[in-house]
Structure 1
Amino acid sequence: MSIGVKTRSAAGLVRRRVLAGGERFWRHGDFEALSASAVATALSRLAREGELQRVSKGVYFRPRMTVLGPSMPATSGAVAISLVRPVHLAGLSAANVLGLSTQNPARREYATTANDPPTALAGSRVRTGRPAARASLGPEDGALLELLRDRAATSDLSPQQTISRLQNLLEDRRRFSRLAAAAAEEPPRVRAMLGALGELTDADPRDIGKLRNSLNPLSRFDFGVLGHLPNARAWQAK
């Protein structure tokens, strides 16, 4: 295969992944199997066409359309994407971005797969050592896992409103499948809560089955606010 054909093939793959990936950041490193120069050219071309916004050198943002026009990359997201290891919002910061709280903590809260807090986040609260399976998740998906880790304790909404909001966020089967796969390395309570929520949405039964089969049937979990789920006991809530 000639170099020109390989370049066109790589450009086509980059385009398909970006257009199918929804609202998120993209870096050259997201396409490790492809030529770095071909990826750089493809991302640059997508930016010229208006499909991507260039945030910084080698970092691009794919917006979504809102009633006010294209969405803009949050400052916290731009910081996170510039780091070597994946970083997602946590605590109140996660609840805020997910629409479960109007509070903005004085110090932003993050979670990372790194073992030590990144120097780029000095002054922020950082939870370290999160599972490597989160590496492929976008900002909102990572925030969802953090919220489940906290048993939705940072939600300002009533238990029923919290459950309703989470159902809305999880009704996309593709999102649920991504989270179910990543949850394999999360604490069992996260898998149990995610499975219970999945049963109330249009989640793929195969994903729900994998989550249920991953749990020790003798264990019981503290669901916190999500103990109000109608099927919480069926998913081993205390």
Structure 2
Amino acid sequence: MKIAEKIKKKIKRMPEGTTFKYQQLDLSKTEYSGAAKAIERLINEGVIKRITKGVFYKPKKSVFGELRPTETEIIKPYLYEQGKRIAYITGTVLYNNMGVTTQVPKIVKIASRSKRIYIDSGSIKAKPVKSYIDVTEGNYSLLEILDVLKDFTKIPDLDKESGIRFLKDKLNGLSEKETNMLVKYALKYPPRVRAFLGALLNEITGQENRNLKQSLNPLTTYRFNLNEDTLKTAPNWNIK
């Protein structure tokens, strides 16, 4: 099959509004030169559009005309390398998507351990932050939870009682295996994150997690400015 036909079939199977890089086209190294010409033809034909160098999208059509991909969809190709997830969106954009803040920042934060990812494409601007853990498709949702714990006192306009309920719901929805993984990852995060997670799990299960407890300095106090009834196990973990 010719490269142009191969690419056209691949793009035809993509949902409208999908963004992609060359890596998503399953090309061999010898096909990249021909692929560039095929991509240019498809752009000229209006089949796809270019977002920035090496990043494209399949336009989504509506009664109002063509729609540009969502911010999350535009960023998505940058979160993968050779088909594997290496990064995830964090910071206020993540917390807005989760519904714990109404604030929308101008700059998106992208967490990765292996790569520093910058984006400057029209209204989309992103800067890198360092992930504490190597990011994979299987663990990034757990890292998102840990980031909420880490930034809890800094999340704009967060209602702390609602935030605690949100976190309890998230933790209650995890399997035993996922909870064990979350604890394992938390040991790489700052002590305040480990204490906060320990207090939440303590209230949910009625037991103190030994690994989290032993990782903390018993003389250190962590200030979250919580009401006494918001997280009743907080004093067990030196959280004020």
TM over 0.5: yes
Which residue of 2 is the match for residue 185 of structure 1? 188
Q: Secondary structure, in 3 states, of the residue corresponding to 1:201?
A: helix
Unaligned runs of 5+ residues in structure 1 are 1-47, 59-71
Structure 2 CA distance, aligned partners of 1:220 and 1:134?
A: 30
Structure 2 CA distance, aligned partners of 1:201 and 1:76?
A: 38
Amino acid of the structure 1 residue aligned with 2:116: P
Contact 1:220–1:236 (CA<8 Å) still a contact in 2?
Answer: yes
Which residue of 1 is the match for residue 154 of structure 2? 153
Task: Summarize the Cα distance change of 1:82–1:154 in structure 2 as closer, same or farther, 3 Å threshold.
Answer: same
Which residue of 1 is the match for residue 129 of structure 2? 127
**How far 1:125 moved relative to its partner?**
3.0
| 1:117 is the counterpart of 2:120 | no
Which residue of 2 is the match for residue 176 of structure 1? 179
Structure number with greater Rg is: 2
Structure 1 CA distance, aligned partners of 2:126 and 2:218?
A: 38
Q: Which structure has the highest helix share of the two?
A: 1
Structure 1 CA distance, aligned partners of 2:97 and 2:155?
A: 12
Structure 1 CA distance, aligned partners of 2:214 and 2:105?
A: 37
Structure 2 CA distance, aligned partners of 1:110 and 1:133?
A: 13
**How far 1:98 moved relative to its partner?**
2.0
Which residue of 2 is the match for residue 35 of structure 1? none
Q: Percent identity?
A: 24
Task: Summarize the Cα distance change of 1:218–1:80 in structure 2 as closer, same or farther, 3 Å threshold.
Answer: farther
Moved segments of 4+, more than 4 Å: 119-122, 133-137, 224-228
Unaligned runs of 5+ residues in structure 2 are 1-12, 27-69
TM-score w.r.t. length of structure 2: 0.58
Which residue of 2 is the match for residue 79 of structure 1? 77
Amino acid of the structure 2 residue aligned with 1:234: N
**How far 1:217 moved relative to its partner?**
1.2
Once the two structures are superposed, what CA deviation does each residue of 1:26-54 show, in whole Å capped at 9, x if it has no partner?
xxxxxxxxxxxxxxxxxxxxxx9xxxx99
Structure 2 CA distance, aligned partners of 1:76 and 1:166?
A: 28
Structure 2 CA distance, aligned partners of 1:188 and 1:134?
A: 21
Contact 2:118–2:127 (CA<8 Å) still a contact in 1?
Answer: no
TM-score w.r.t. length of structure 1: 0.58
Contact 1:153–1:225 (CA<8 Å) still a contact in 2?
Answer: no
Q: Secondary structure, in 3 states, of the residue corresponding to 1:200?
A: helix
**How far 1:193 moved relative to its partner?**
0.5
Contact 2:118–2:128 (CA<8 Å) still a contact in 1?
Answer: no
Task: Summarize the Cα distance change of 1:179–1:103 in structure 2 as closer, same or farther, 3 Å threshold.
Answer: same
Structure 2 CA distance, aligned partners of 1:235 and 1:76?
A: 41
Task: Summarize the Cα distance change of 1:76–1:100 in structure 2 as closer, same or farther, 3 Å threshold.
Answer: farther
Aligned length, in residue pairs: 171
Amino acid of the structure 2 residue aligned with 1:126: P
Q: Secondary structure, in 3 states, of the residue corresponding to 1:127?
A: strand
1:194 pairs, out of 194, 197, 200, with 197
Amino acid of the structure 2 residue aligned with 1:221: Y
Structure 2 CA distance, aligned partners of 1:146 and 1:225?
A: 18
**How far 1:147 moved relative to its partner?**
1.5
Structure 1 CA distance, aligned partners of 2:227 and 2:170?
A: 15
Once the two structures are superposed, what CA deviation does each residue of 1:186-228 show, in whole Å capped at 9, x if it has no partner?
111111101111122248x58x221112112122223356984
Task: Summarize the Cα distance change of 1:133–1:202 in structure 2 as closer, same or farther, 3 Å threshold.
Answer: farther
Structure 2 CA distance, aligned partners of 1:233 and 1:138?
A: 30
Q: Which structure has the highest strand share of the two?
A: 2
Aligned-residue RMSD, C-alpha: 3.6
Which residue of 2 is the match for residue 221 of structure 1? 222
Which residue of 2 is the match for residue 17 of structure 1? none
Single out whichever of 158-167 and 79-88 deviates more from structure 2. Answer: 79-88
Structure 2 CA distance, aligned partners of 1:95 and 1:226?
A: 22
